[in-house]
Structure 1
């Protein structure tokens, strides 16, 4: 009997020892938990945007140019000064005549003297023509008196009439020649007078005033110092800074997703966010080089401010803004970090953590903005998923949160 009890105790001892050994081996060879970062499925506002840097621009800019070639007086306006319609902006003296050298001056004086002599000669001819016309008219009057008494023939009377008409024509021609000679003399004298005035520092007789075309502000002074200007040379730019638009250069692959009427949010300008609306997406792109030296195709997108002017009155022409083009938005979207979602066999999925186990969970996803992804089906609010799942993580693995 005692031997039976000793044998049963021995077997119990060795059985417990074997179970303990198996437990130790199971503990030693159990799979280690994978260290992971976890994220919680939440519900809240979400939007998908295209963000690019842009700048403000006055809608209607007017470039004021010199109407004539000449000498520009110094512009007294500064950038930012208010201007009104027809307000004088600048004065331009027409190009003065060049100063004559002694030889040219002597020739000009000789031409003026010759023109004066020619005028005097023509005036003598005018006096002679006047005398002939007076004589012809007197003869015609005398013959007409005799014709009443029939003491003169009709042929003689007709000759007298013809002589009177011819004398008047010669007189008119002489007077026209006198006017031409007078103008030639005036031109010769003007050349001398204008050149003399320029050499003596006198002011020219005429000045051309450049007027403002609009009610606005001076945006840029392209020429402020006095000096010679050519006709059509730009002097300044004016515009109304109360009429601003936003110009943004967008990558062409993003521009195809934009359209007129798209809501836009403006940030990064130093004030509160502003509302704007896309007015036009340019149909022509252009090549640009990024800060990293990469060539990119970009498209200009023009937006109009929708916020009240009081909110952006401190903005001016050429100010920097960050334009957020809102492609999609929701006030209550079930979402998860985009880094948690991966694709396997063409199906979106996450690793859903229940307890300490990771389970592969298939999903139906919606919009994504690169940071968060909308969940349509497959998860519930409050679920915990693995963020940045690695290749070492498999379905059913034990996980431990860092």
Structure 2
């Protein structure tokens, strides 16, 4: 019996080493088999896309008024200093005693009369501008009221209401600017009339000193002449303005400014408050200038002026020449096919991306449009819902197996 069992178990024991060898060979082959590369992926999808440019700038008072003597004479000491509040038609900014020669000079009298006529003509023009701006503001307010009622009833989109609100705010600022210009023109008329009275005076002793009154409500911004001295017409004495009438002045690269138009949306950031302020581009100056950057590189810059749409929150002080950072929208789309820019790379002059199809990487040519640094617009080569590989490593090639690392 023992010899029979030994004979039956002999062949099986002989096969065991071969089975072990086969298992080892299979393990080696499986270990040498290429494994799918682990990659990160994203989906090509449609959605809103906004392209903007960010640049530093500063605030400035939109309408500044330079005070100068209407006639030649002797300037008495200026007591006001920068930051002093002024009241239109009440605060005396400067006192000038006209020189004797002006009283006997017929040419001075003729110039004073001509200056009055010119100042009155400018005042009438400013009045017409104010009437036009007031009518535009009233129309914008009516449009805003209509949009408010439609929005409450659900018949208007929030975007239409926001557009109407921004338009009303802009028209209000234009109206305030026109009113400021009218006040300044009226002040010029009064100064011109005072100069004529001086020219008609029989002698210097009988003439009263000319008091230059504040043309607007606001503050003294700069004082150029504070000591007593002889002055001539047109010599700057001081500069005044209203710090509530602010705008932002942004210096953009000319290559960025070409894509910006008046009316573009702006977000004012890094101004000292926690919430960005909304704004709109009012003017893109047509002329550029050369500026040397901090790295010593000459750059062509263009000044862009921005109107504030939101008031400064309570508790914050905003003044002239304060630093701000503006994010200006250069392009905007509501339904745009886009992918992350990390999925793109260059191959010659062509933009490429890797798509993932059933675990296989496929190299795909794409045509891109707008790019904001985070997402890029796809004009051709991809469809919505396709999976693209983010930041493809060097080992990724067309036909290579890949797997999502998420």
Report the TM-score when normalising by structure 1: 0.60
Decide whether the 8 Å contact of 1:93 with 1:204 is kept in 2: no
CA distance in 1, matches of 2:237, 2:268: 33
Residue 216 of structure 2 aligns to a residue whose secondary structure is coil
Give CA deviations for 1:53-95 in whole Å, capped at 9, x if unaligned.
1222222211112443434323235415132036421223467
Cα displacement (A) at 1:245: 2.6
Give CA deviations for 1:161-196 in whole Å, capped at 9, x if unaligned.
xxxxxxxxxxxxxxxxxxxxxxxxxxxxx9xxx9xx
Residue 217 of structure 1 aligns to a residue whose secondary structure is strand
Decide whether the 8 Å contact of 1:351 with 1:385 is kept in 2: yes
Decide whether the 8 Å contact of 2:43 with 2:339 is kept in 1: yes
What's the Cα RMSD here? 4.0
How many residue pairs match? The answer is: 295
Give CA deviations for 1:359-386 in whole Å, capped at 9, x if unaligned.
43444544210122234662545x6643
Cα displacement (A) at 1:290: 1.1
Cα displacement (A) at 1:296: 0.3
Counterpart in 2 of 1:110?
none
Unaligned stretches of 5+ in structure 1?
97-189, 195-202
Cα displacement (A) at 1:315: 3.4
2:244 aligned with 1:242: yes
CA distance in 2, matches of 1:328, 1:19: 65
Residues 36-115 of structure 1 aligned to structure 2 (within 5 Å)? 36-39=39-42, 44-66=47-69, 67-85=71-89, 87-93=91-97
Query: Mean alpha-carbon deviation: is it higher for 71-80 or for 46-55?
Result: 71-80
CA distance in 2, matches of 1:228, 1:204: 21
Residues 25-40 of structure 1 aligned to structure 2 (within 5 Å)? 25-31=28-34, 34=37, 36-39=39-42
CA distance in 2, matches of 1:387, 1:321: 35
Query: Mean alpha-carbon deviation: is it higher for 356-365 or for 255-264?
Result: 356-365
Counterpart in 2 of 1:220?
222
- 2:377 corresponds, among 374, 379, 382, to 374
Decide whether the 8 Å contact of 1:223 with 1:236 is kept in 2: yes
Cα displacement (A) at 1:279: 2.6
Residues 300-319 of structure 1 aligned to structure 2 (within 5 Å)? 300-305=303-308, 307-309=309-311, 314-319=317-322
CA distance in 2, matches of 1:330, 1:278: 19
Report the TM-score when normalising by structure 2: 0.59
CA distance in 2, matches of 1:315, 1:229: 36
